[in-house]
Structure 1
Amino acid sequence: MKISKNTLKGTLCVIAAGMCWGTTGTIQAFTPNGASSLSIGAARVAFAGVVLLIYMLIKKRGELFRGGWSVRGVLLAAAGLAAYQLTFFSAVRLTGVAVGTMVAIGSAPPLAGIFGRILFKEQLPWRWYAATILAVTGCVMLVLGGNTGALSVSVLGVFLAFSAAFSYALEGVGLRLIKRDPYDVIAVVSAVSGLMALPWLLAGDISWMLEPRGALCMALLTFLSTIIPYTLFTIGIQNIELGTAYTLSLSEPLTAWLLSTVLLGERLSWIASLGVGILFCGILLLACNKNKG
């Protein structure tokens, strides 16, 4: 059976979103020294929310806030998005781009699959179970197999990465509850999430954003790693099942691993590198499923 047009669209959008998200940790590594993890995460979502909301208000005017909104869905998605920023950036700072991203994103598919099965009665195919087992195995090998050179694994960092995974999965649940145009959805969710994260932004030192390098990093975090991927993910998640979307989004840690190796000089042991390969096999297994949708 051929892959349906909507399923193919959803699959490609989610994989592309993951690749954009995979740039986040590397961009963070190039921010000025005064940039804290909390201020980076809060600024990222706050600026993205403002930009998207202004754009959609100009484009649709009053139509943006007319009926059809799920308040519960918006609050869940916004809370998940805000919490993800505050936990993920701290995790990456503590345990490195490769490990932080792998744990945060690699542990999200099982959580998303459970949410999808319980809340939306999704029937997950055997390929999802196999792909998820491969993904989790790859992440475990990455964390346990280790650290070489400057790369180290922090217990607190891993815990924060798992917290980010839970927030990420919660965000997907909220997005599935909102039956609106994807561009409307991501604009409103980002704006509400930005309000939630605003106290952390105002409480921290934001002077680093006024430096040329800080401003450039903030622009990249806002557009390349937030607005573009979240829009793609919102489109994708409305065309494929929740668990499938989160497994496909594992293109994010693969991208993060590649960038951290090439640009930051982070090196993994052979066991951890094998884990990356196993994770990649999990993505291929699910992405090449011809019986989806």
Structure 2
Amino acid sequence: MNRILGILAVILASILWGTTGTAATFAPLLSPLLIGSLAMGIGGILQCTLAIPKIIKERHLLTKHFGFLIVGAIAVMIYPLAFYSSMRLSGVTIGTVVSIGSAPILSAIIEYISRDFRLTKQWLIGASCGILGIILLAFSENNSTTNQYDHITIGILLGLIAGFTYALYSWSARQLMLKGIATKSAMGATFGCGGILLIPVMLLTGSALFDSLTNMTVCIYMALIPMFLGYLCYGYGLSKISASSAITISLLEPVIAAILAMLIIGEQMSLVGWFGVILIFLCLMFVTLSSITNLSASA
């Protein structure tokens, strides 16, 4: 039951994250660096504030495993800058699918190297369906839209960096939890330190933040709902299932983003895109079965 609740928590987090692309369209004049640093930075600092009593209580354990904390904080700092810049340079669809789509493979590699990952048939089938699904989502975008971006290659490279840092901070936070540190402490300390590292970026890029009420509303929403609440759910999920499973489940994010773009912004999705959505839902089913199978095997 705990694993199932963990899976549901990651699904909810992915749904919340999927709203960020549509939300950002309401403030087109804001720098992607500002949006990323403000959303992840403020959200992370709020998580840390909420977890201060736990962090103080477990400060000796956090100090003992300081290396994981530093790795996670640096990854948290880099991720939003790479992710939002990737979408600005190569387009929302390509930037999102490269960032989120590369993360499961990179996470599995990290966990395999650290001997924390056991491949199962269900996980392999699920990950394959999910990755194929996001590729189809990327190719479903209208070519005339894609051609307006002049730096697609750089955008894809930044997307891969985002995928790697996403996998890295998920793995490092999971390692802290496996060392006996509470979820609140592990996530709060990791994201709080990452948020502090993002403050200089906020200060350097934040001149347009107060130009309109809409700009402020968008940033407040993104900091409080997708980042703060979303990562609380994600942290709970990480305490119940492996980082690679959590990251694979989060392939739901680009599906939600595409659906919202269709319903709110008016973008269209082709038959190929819908087939990609179906494959991603198959991915969720297989990864869920894999987690339940692992639970039965370890019981």
TM score, norm. by length of structure 2: 0.87
CA shift at 1:270, angstroms? 3.0
Offset of residue 145 of structure 1: 4.4
d(CA) in 2 for partners of 1:55 and 1:137? 38
| CA 54–244 in structure 1, closer or farther in 2 if over 3 Å, else same | closer
Q: Deviations over 1:147-186 (max 9, x none)?
A: 2554557333222222111110011121022132222222
**Alpha-carbon distance in structure 2 between the residues aligned to 1:62 and 1:137:** 40
Return the letter of the residue paired with 2:288.
Answer: A
**Cα–Cα, structure 1 residues 65 and 241, in superposed 2: closer, same or farther, change >3 Å?**
closer
2:9 maps to: 13
- Higher helix content, 1 or 2: 2
Alignment of 1:15-164 (within 5 A): 15-33=11-29, 35-57=30-52, 60=53, 63-64=56-57, 66-69=59-62, 70-148=65-143, 150=145, 154-164=152-162
For each residue in 1:110-162, what CA deviation from the matched residue of structure 2 results, as whole angstroms up to 9, or x when unmatched? 11112122213321211111111112222222334442554557333222222
**AA in 1 matched with 2:293:** N
Identify if the C-alpha distance between structure 1 residues 184 and 140 changes in structure 2 by more than 3 Å, giving closer, same or farther.
same
Letter in 2 for 1:134: C
Match of 2:256 in 1: 255
Structure 1 residue 16: deviation in Å? 1.1
Give runs of ≥4 in structure 1 deviating > 6 Å: none
Q: CA shift at 1:84, angstroms? A: 1.0
Across the two proteins, how many residue pairs are aligned to each other?
286
Q: Give how far 1:272 is off.
A: 3.4
Range moving further from structure 2, 112-121 or 9-18: 112-121
Where 1:121 maps in the other structure, the secondary structure is coil
Following the alignment from structure 1 to structure 2, what is the Cα–Cα distance between the partners of residues 254 and 95? 18
**Gap regions ≥5 residues in structure 2:** none
Identify the range of structure 1 (133-142 vs 221-230) with the bigger mean alpha-carbon deviation: 133-142
- For residue 239 of structure 1, report the CA deviation from its aligned partner: 1.2
Separation (CA, whole Å) in 1 of partners of 2:113 and 2:237: 20
1:160 maps to a residue whose letter is L
Question: Equivalent residue for 1:275?
Answer: 276
> Any idea what SS the aligned residue of 1:178 has?
helix
Bigger mean CA offset, 271-280 vs 7-16: 271-280
Distance in 2 between the 1:194 and 1:246 partners? 21
Distance 1:242 1:116 in 2: 8
Q: Hey, what does 2:192 align to over in structure 1? A: 191
> Which amino acid letter does the alignment assign opposite residue 136 of structure 2?
M
Which has the larger displacement, 202-211 or 219-228? 202-211
Contact preservation (8 Å) 2:54, 2:184: no
TM-score by length of 1: 0.89
Segments of structure 1 that go 5 or more residues without pairing to the other structure are none
CA–CA separation in structure 1 for the residues paired with 2:162 and 2:225 = 20
Structure 1 residues 40 and 64 mapped into 2: Cα distance closer, same or farther (>3 Å)?
A: farther
Indicate if the aligned counterparts of 1:14 and 1:248 stay in contact, CA closer than 8 A.
Answer: yes
Q: Distance in 1 between matches of 2:76 and 2:210?
A: 21
CA RMSD of aligned residues (A): 2.2
User: In structure 2, do the counterparts of structure 1 residues 61 and 175 end up closer, same or farther at CA, with 3 Å as the change threshold?
Assistant: closer
- C-alpha spacing 1:172/1:19, structure 2 compared with 1 (3 Å): same
Is the Cα–Cα contact under 8 Å of residues 174 and 239 in structure 2 kept in the other structure? Answer: yes
Q: Give the AA of the match of 1:63.
A: I
